Structure 1
Amino acid sequence: MELAVLLVNVLAVGEAHGRDLEPPADGAARRAAVLDATARLERPPAGALTAADADHLAEVAAELRPVFGGGPDSVGSLNALLVRYGAVAHLSGEPPMLAFHQPGASLVEAWAADIGTALAMVIGVGQGVRLRSCEAEGCSLVFFDVTRNASRRFCGLSCQNRAKASAYRARRRS
């Protein structure tokens, strides 16, 4: 799930924390952004990422973006992604780990199938409301809501503080 949020936020979001954000425009910049972001993960995904892979991941991220926030076409596009990348459960590696991509799949195919399956599992168990998009004005970052009652509305404290300050100022004006 972490990888899904990371890829969408790095490659498919146009505004964050009240500022316009220009997603990386070419393969080399996308590759650098993905490598930088995955390096911060506790267990970064394995595999060599090329500029062409990064371009392909940008397409996958754009396709996954509507799933966060439950857009009307989210289930259909997620099902199409699962079919396109041949998501199938199998054990691989040492020690064996459960994966959802075809054995011998490329890095992009593996990430897309695994991410798509993770999102489908969340939606399939009735927790799709936890796949959220920030509600703050000027921010379209996505996140997975892990709060007890699925009540998180903002990607982080900065957006929450901006929204609350804006609401306070609006109340004071009226």
Structure 2
Amino acid sequence: MELAVLLVNELAVGEVRGRDLAQPADGAARRAAVLAATARLDRPPAGSPTAADADRLAEVAAELRPVFGGGPDSVASLNALLVRHSAVANLHGEPPILAFHQPDASLVDAWAADAGTALAMVIGVGQGVRLRSCEADGCALVFFDVTRNTSRRFCGLSCQNRAKASAYRARRRA
């Protein structure tokens, strides 16, 4: 799940916390962004993408973006992504780990299959409403809502505070 959120937020989001975000312009910049983001994970995915891999991962991220928020074609596009990247459950490595890609899959296919399968499992168990996009104006970050009653609306406190301050100012004007 973390990988899907990371890829979308790093490679497919144009607005963050009220500011336009310039997407990495080329494969080298995309690679640097992905490496920096995966380094922050508790359990980073295996492998280091090349610049060409980062370009392909940006395409995967753009395909995964509509799944957050449950667009009308999100399930069909997610299914197509799973087929295209040969998602299949298996154990490999030492000690064995559960993965959703072939042991000999390319890095892009492995990351896409794993991220897509994580999203499919969330949707498949009826928790697709937890795949959210920030509701603050000017922010398109995505997240997985882990609150007990699925009430999280914003990606973080800064967006929540901006939205509440904006609503307060609107009420004061009226």
TM-score range, shorter chain: over 0.9
Question: Distance between the aligned counterparts of 1:102 and 1:68, measured in 2?
Answer: 26
Question: Distance between the aligned counterparts of 2:46 and 2:99, measured in 1?
Answer: 13
The match for 2:75 is: 75
For residues 88-143 of structure 1, give each alpha carbon's deviation from its aligned partner in whole angstroms, at most 9, with x where no partner exists.
Answer: 11001111111111220011100000111000000000000000000000000000
Question: Distance between the aligned counterparts of 2:25 and 2:77, measured in 1?
Answer: 24
Preserved contact between residue 35 and residue 48 of structure 2 (Cα < 8 Å): no
- Are 2:17 and 1:17 aligned? yes
Structure 2 letter corresponding to 1:161 = N
> Which segments of 5 or more consecutive residues in structure 2 lack a partner in the other structure?
none
**Moved >4 Å (runs of 4+):** none
User: Would you say how many aligned residue pairs link Structure 1 and Structure 2?
Assistant: 174
The match for 1:98 is: 98
Structure 2 letter corresponding to 1:159 = C
- Are 2:30 and 1:30 aligned? yes
For residues 38-78 of structure 1, give each alpha carbon's deviation from its aligned partner in whole angstroms, at most 9, with x where no partner exists.
Answer: 00111111112100000000000000000001111100000
For residues 8-63 of structure 1, give each alpha carbon's deviation from its aligned partner in whole angstroms, at most 9, with x where no partner exists.
Answer: 00000000000000110100000000000100111111112100000000000000
Name the SS of the counterpart of 1:136 in structure 2.
coil
The match for 2:118 is: 118
Question: Distance between the aligned counterparts of 2:148 and 2:170, measured in 1?
Answer: 30
Name the SS of the counterpart of 2:121 in structure 1.
helix
Name the SS of the counterpart of 2:170 in structure 1.
helix
Structure 2 letter corresponding to 1:150 = T
The match for 2:2 is: 2
Question: Distance between the aligned counterparts of 1:79 and 1:59, measured in 2?
Answer: 16
